[in-house]
Structure 1
Amino acid sequence: MPPSPASPRYQQVTIDEVGTPLAQVTFVVVDLETTGGSPKDSAITEIGAVKVRGGQVLGEFQTLVDPGHAIPPYISVLTGITSSMVAAAPRIGSVLPSFLEFARGAVLVAHNAPFDLGFLKAACAENGLAWPAAASVDTAVLARRLLSRDEVPNCKLATLAPYFSATTSPTHRALDDARATVDVLHGLFERLGPLGVTTLEELTGLTRQVDPERRRKRDLADGVPHGPGVYLFRGPRDEPLYVGTSTDLRSRVRSYFTSGEQRSRITEMVALAQRVDAVPCAHALEAAVRELRLIAQHKPRYNRRSRFPERALWVRLTEEPFPRLSVVRRVRPDAGVFLGPFPDRRAADAAVAAVHEALPLRQCTARLSPRTPISACALAGMGRCGAPCTGAQSVLEYADAAGVFAAAVTSDPQPLLAPLIARVDRLAGEERYEDAAVLRDRIAVLVRAVRRRQRLASLAAVPELVLARPDGDGGWELSVVRLGRLAAAGNAPRGTTVRSVLPVLLATAETVAGADGERTTSVDETELVLRWLEKPGTRLVQLTGTLASPAPGTGAYSGFLARVETGRDARDPFADGRSLGTRARPERIASSA
């Protein structure tokens, strides 16, 4: 008999053979200096990069770059790079091929990688160069995964470099910062060994891990329907943990059990959740309104937005013979003139300070009587108050100043704002730039508050209006709004008319009325309705009463507000809303030992 062929032999490979060991991966750590925070309106001024593998430095790349325009002075102060330094430097189109060759085949590393890589990708696109399909590692994200708040207060490079005893300190120069990031990367790699992370594949998937317990809870989404609405995660005692909204409830709820959801507080919330309730809605506006109401009603611990609408602040011009400005939390009819709401005390105080710069309103809190004069305070001696307390001003004379504020809130802010803006120009002309900037920012707070109050008041005064928006499928999304509150929501499907659906919708709409005429609708809800009303394509089907904006209003100050926003961006060109604090990281990885 011929010998039977030998049976194939199978050998178990080690984990190191499955992936690419980190010790064999070439990393290029890159850092940029730029003229601002966005590639849309800023340019690169310096590139620094360090190539490393197995803990050894293989090479460095550094060059200044001519951004094509003058470098703003505040950038020069921050980085030390001036326009004269880059005058003879190459343009980015000449630098990129050399950098791409230096980084070819390597994994790119950066601290806050979306910033640096975003500029490089935009520069490649602008110069017709292909961006390489390279893996990338963000040391800021990695630090948030591996370090606790007890170790470092935040994950900024300036904090991590001394923590890991970096040999180079970050200086806002590209090569120095890249060298410091190399040391931070190696320090973080030392944390990976005890966790069993030894390959590139495990490293890149580190921030997208899904806890098995969280994955097992995916069945909580099984009973959730598709379509717009609100969802509520409920805890062990059936308490609402989190309220959210989506145009597709089922898809959104399922996403909480995937690797795409990495917010630490949401990870904790999902671990506690025992049930998910869904509230289907007619359209997105109803869903957004119901979300606001549910958050205000239940105050879920994992919601951050709109949990306490009753904490909104208002500036009130009191009803007294000599009225004054007071910051309050409740709006009561016939209790004076109210401006707001303001998100916090700081904003309210800024608006009050701006008004006091323009009008000699009293700032004392005592109740004054025109028949009982008292001694004047220091503000009267400084000319900041007309001293009605001493009888120097009559009730009618004082009412003229108070009337300017009342008119500004309801219709015409020009008499209040014009002298303030003139004062800003005067301070700037005297080179008192800091004083001018402080006053300018206060005026901006005041203008925004007046604009918001006027827009919302016009809608809140309408007894009833019916809005219709196309649903994208040949039908209409309908909303009945009464006194700024969503009273009913429905749909007119394709093939039916709005008029045929409207009578039933109006008959079932909520009756909006408050005790003693007090406002029953939250400002946030009225603002949602207003944004819905102002969207392109919205139709006004039916109106009871008058919907009109006051004239002249704040339209003339749109340019002023735009300049303030531009100035704010210039003062903080690298502003990034994402937190680098360790509280923002997903659940910290711990070794299984």
Structure 2
Amino acid sequence: MPPPTFDDMQMVQETFEDLGVALADVTFVVVDLETTGGSPAGSQITEFGAVKVRGGAVLGEFQTLVRPSTPIPPFITVLTGITNAMVAEAPAIRTVMPQFLEFAAGSVLVAHNAGFDVSFLRAAAAETGQPWPGFAVIDTVRLARQLVHRDEAPNHKLSSLAQLFGATTTPDHRALHDARATVDVLHALIERVGNLGVHTLEELQSYSSRVSTAQRRKRFLADAMPSAPGVYVFRDRAGEPLYVGTATDLRRRTRTYFTASETRRRMTEMVGISESITPIVCATPLEASVRELRLIAAHKPRYNRRSRSPEKAVWVKLTDEPFPRLSIVRVVKDDGAAYAGPFTARRTAEAAVTALHEVVPLRQCTPRLSLRGTRGSACVLLEMQRCGGPCVGAQTVEDYSHVAEQAAEVLSGSCRTVVAALHARLDTLAAQERFEEAATLRDRMLALVRAAARAQRLRPLRATPELVAARRRDGGGWELVVVRHGRLAGTTLSPPGADPLPYVAALQETAEVVQPPGAGQDTAVVLTEETELVLRWLESPGVRLVHLTGTWTCPVDGAGAARAVLEPQASHWREVDVRDPSPATPLERPVGALPLGAA
């Protein structure tokens, strides 16, 4: 997979339907109900009134009284003027409800305080055995609260709004009259939001006064986005990337930045200075995630918080010299040294180093020592028997090599011995009731095994020249991935019912050429997060290994095994590095080819 650029965006022609339904083309059914009480639990509908409108023109009206099964309370009669005598010969709800649903079919329901009317309609549909169509609903009360200020009307009641907007019908608690008044209120409110850049049903449904006019008017930037998975890039007037993100549906996701659902202040600020959005359509979600990482690392968009500065990560290094020592570094080199990490904070790396020093008597002085050592005065660690004293010639290279091997084994292989020693040290401190020291050592031990486990998971995949894997898609076919030296080199999809192996062969031929670690690439900065993304995908349910060049293994008793034991307890501990995304358990997938079947 070649490195992405902003020129590799894939544009897709949208249909007019994809851009939203213009309000002038929407059929609204404005409905009002009169009832025997305030809740469908114990109350019933006594009158329907509905007006069907589109483009400002009335298409039809629906009005009928309904005979309830219980008497109308006197105070309701006083309020609405509907008496028991008026409804005595009216049709029952089982007759009226199907007629209303036929009248309103395919429309958008509108009501003033829509929650009240819709709750009665849904209850009536259930009572009469009619399936509820799931109408889209517009509430004129909610719109009015955002568009009509207190200095214009004393409240947002229908009577007040009808007077404000000069409705041709005065609402009087009779269903059809109130529905006609609500039509005039609806048209007036639509005119107001139209002046604010709201022209489609989708925009009206998501309208909120919390969204600034400038933010709403930029919604057209999302209209050109394809309904496909991939990466989106917000850019400013100069074309500089402001924010990079991923989405399973680019158009739907980018539209949310222009609605009330986006509440992050920095994102609102970002949208305010954006002038365009670049879509990059991706074949698979894994490709989208990897492209996002690479773009953020390459351009460091100011509004991206995650992965903007991978170069700030640090590693613990066991130096390659006659008398190795532990060092905290920012760059991983192909120098034969053992590394653990990366750590997102230097303090965490220091905690891991201290934990290893607790049980492995490595020297802690910084000068590089010759084969004979440097004769001089020793530090206090020699007196404490925490170091063999190679600096004063008290320890030969051969003797010290056994100590260094213990440290190297923790970073690259088994850590059973060291973890057991740390546990013994913890038990001793606890027995002596030195609980604060025990807690500190416990946290340092967790930092060490987390870093070692991370390194032991990454290293084998980076050393693998090529790995091909597949995962069955829900709709049929296969998601195919080629990984080379821990880097996503290519990905594609095979169609449902087709033999996937020809697609695998084609993918291998066209995949990106990736140099092995140390061959002219900064493996520490570029590949760490990407390799972890690939590993999580490889470990996900249903993934099959199709082809492997080289070997791909992890130590059975490596740091991952120790972490699997320690990590479940971490929720009760003080977190050491909460941003470490690597899973707790090591990769234990059998290496070998598994057959793929057409799907």
| TM-score, L = length of structure 1 | 0.60
Q: Is the 8 A contact 2:207 2:259 kept in 1?
A: no
User: Which residue of structure 2 lines up, in the alignment, with residue 272 of structure 1?
Assistant: 273
1:516 corresponds to: 519
1:516 partner SS: coil
Instruction: Give matches, 1:521-560, under 5 Å.
Output: 521-558=526-563, 560=565
Distance 1:243 1:355, change over 3 A: same
Partner of residue 502, structure 2: 500
Deviation of the 1:427 alpha carbon? 0.7
Match of 2:475 in 1: 473
Cα deviation code 1:214-250 (max 9, x no counterpart): 0111000111111210000001211000000011111
> What is the aligned partner in structure 2 of residue 254 from structure 1?
255
**Mapping of residues 291-330 of structure 1, within 5 Å:** 291-330=292-331
Aligned partners of 2:560 and 2:327: how far apart in 1? 27
Partner amino acid for 2:519?
A: D
TM-fit CA distance, 1:384: 2.3
Counterpart of 2:245, as a letter, is: G
Instruction: Specify the code of the residue in structure 1 equivalent to 2:281.
Output: P
CA contact (8 A) 2:413 2:557 kept: yes
Which amino acid in structure 2 is aligned with residue 525 of structure 1?
E
Residues 570 and 338 of structure 1: is their aligned pair in 2 closer, same or farther, counting only changes over 3 Å? closer
The CA deviation string for residues 464-489 of structure 1, in whole angstroms up to 9 with x for no partner, is 11111122111111111001100011
* Cα 1:456–1:508 shift into 2, 3 Å: same
Aligned twin of 2:157:
none
Q: Which residue is 1:123 aligned to? A: none
How many residues were matched structurally? 368
CA contact under 8 A between 1:464 and 1:543: conserved in structure 2? yes
- For the structure 1 residues 433 and 274, does the alpha-carbon distance in structure 2 shift closer, same or farther, using more than 3 Å as the test? same
Cross-structure match for 2:386: 384
Give the SS at the match of 2:573: helix
Answer whether contact 1:458 1:547 (CA < 8 A) is retained: yes
The residue type equivalent to 1:516 in the other structure is A
Change (3 A) 1:390 1:208: farther
Q: Is the 8 A contact 1:460 1:484 kept in 2?
A: yes
* Match of residue 141 from structure 1: none
Q: State the distance in 2 between where 1:518 and 1:239 align.
A: 26
Report the AA paired with residue 446 of structure 1.
L
Residues 283 and 354 of structure 1, relative CA distance in 2, 3 Å threshold: same
CA contact (8 A) 1:420 1:443 kept: yes
Structure 2 residue aligned with 1:24 = none
* Distance change in 2, residues 1:570/1:282 (3 Å): closer
Deviations along 1:374-422, whole A, 9 cap, x unmatched? Answer: 2212322333221111111111111111100111111111122211111
Deviation (angstroms), 1:495:
2.7
RMSD: 2.2
Give, in whole Å, the separation in 1 of the partners of 2:350 and 2:574: 23
2:359 & 2:368 partners in 1: Cα distance? 22
Aligned equivalent of 1:234? 235
Partner of 1:256, secondary structure, is: helix
Q: Quick one: distance in 2 between partners of 1:324 and 1:335?
A: 14
Distance in structure 1 (CA, Å) of the matches to 2:539 and 2:279: 28
Task: Supply the distance in 1 between the matched residues of 2:458 and 2:247 (Cα, whole angstroms).
Answer: 25
SS at 2:258 equivalent? coil
Q: How does 1:364-383 map to 2 (within 5 A)?
A: 364-371=365-372, 372-383=374-385
Counterpart of 1:286 in 2: which secondary structure? helix
Matched with 1:426 is: 428
Does the 8 Å contact 1:333/1:517 carry over to 2? no
Q: Which amino acid aligns with 2:291?
A: R
1:169 is aligned to: none
Indicate the residue corresponding to 2:194 in structure 1.
Answer: none
Instruction: List per-residue Cα deviations over 1:493-519 (Å, max 9, x = no partner).
Output: 113221121222111100001663655
What is the aligned partner in structure 1 of residue 447 from structure 2?
445
* Mapping for residues 68-87 of structure 1, pairs under 5 Å: none
Matching residue of 1:408: 410
CA distance in 2, matches of 1:418, 1:313: 26
Deviations 1:516-546 (A, max 9, x none): 3655451100000000000001111211111
Matched AA of 1:461: A
Moved more, 498-507 or 548-557: 548-557
Query: What's the CA shift string for 1:251-281, capped at 9, x where partnerless?
Result: 1101111100111111111111000000000
Deviations 1:447-468 (A, max 9, x none): 1111111111121121111111
Q: 1:305 to 1:483 in 2, by over 3 A?
A: same
Code of the residue aligned with 2:215 in structure 1: it is R
Structure 2, unpaired ranges of 5+: 1-205, 579-599
Range with greater deviation from structure 2 (498-507 or 221-230): 498-507
Alignment check: 8 A CA contact 2:340 2:454 kept:
no
C-alpha distance in 2 between matches for 1:323 and 1:570? 30
**1:158-237 equivalent positions in 2, closer than 5 A:** 209-237=210-238
Aligned-partner Cα distance in 1 for 2:568–2:543: 30
Percent identical: 53
| Alignment check: 8 A CA contact 1:440 1:564 kept | no
The one-letter code sitting in structure 1 at the alignment partner of 2:369 is L
Normalising by structure 2, we get a TM-score of: 0.59
Whether 1:561 aligns to 2:566 is yes
In 2, distance between residues paired with 1:487 and 1:449?
A: 26
Return 5+ residue gaps in structure 1 as ranges.
1-204, 576-593
Counterpart-to-counterpart distance in 1, 2:233 and 2:499 = 34
The equivalent residue for 2:44 is none
Distance 1:453 1:570, change over 3 A: closer
Write the distance in 2 (CA, Å) between the matches of 1:465 and 1:320. 34
Aligned counterparts of 2:495 and 2:367: Cα–Cα separation in 1: 61
Deviation string, structure 1 residues 24-49 (Cα, Å, up to 9, x no partner): xxxxxxxxxxxxxxxxxxxxxxxxxx
1:343 and 1:373, CA in 2 relative to 1: closer, same or farther beyond 3 A? same
Quote the Cα distance in structure 2 between the aligned partners of 1:248 and 1:497.
28
Question: Structure 1 counterpart of 2:413, which letter?
Answer: S
Residues 466 and 482 of structure 2 are in contact (CA less than 8 Å); yes or no, is this contact kept in structure 1?
A: yes
Query: Is the contact between residue 235 and residue 274 of structure 1 (CA under 8 Å) also seen in structure 2?
Result: yes
The 3 A distance-change label for structure 1 pair 275 and 258 is same
2:351 match:
350
Amino acid at match of 1:439: L
Instruction: Tell me, in whole angstroms, the C-alpha distance in 2 between the residues paired with 1:567 and 1:329.
Output: 31
State which structure, 1 or 2, has the greater radius of gyration over its C-alpha atoms.
2
Instruction: Tell me if structure 2 keeps the 8 A contact 1:467–1:542.
Output: yes
| 1:207 shift after superposition | 9.7
* Separation in 2, partners of 1:380, 1:365: 15
Moved over 6 A (4+): 205-208
How far did residue 563 of structure 1 move? 4.9
Deviates most, 515-524 or 532-541: 515-524
Contact 1:208 1:262 in 2 (8 A): no
Gap change, CA 1:556 and 1:529, over 3 Å in 2? closer
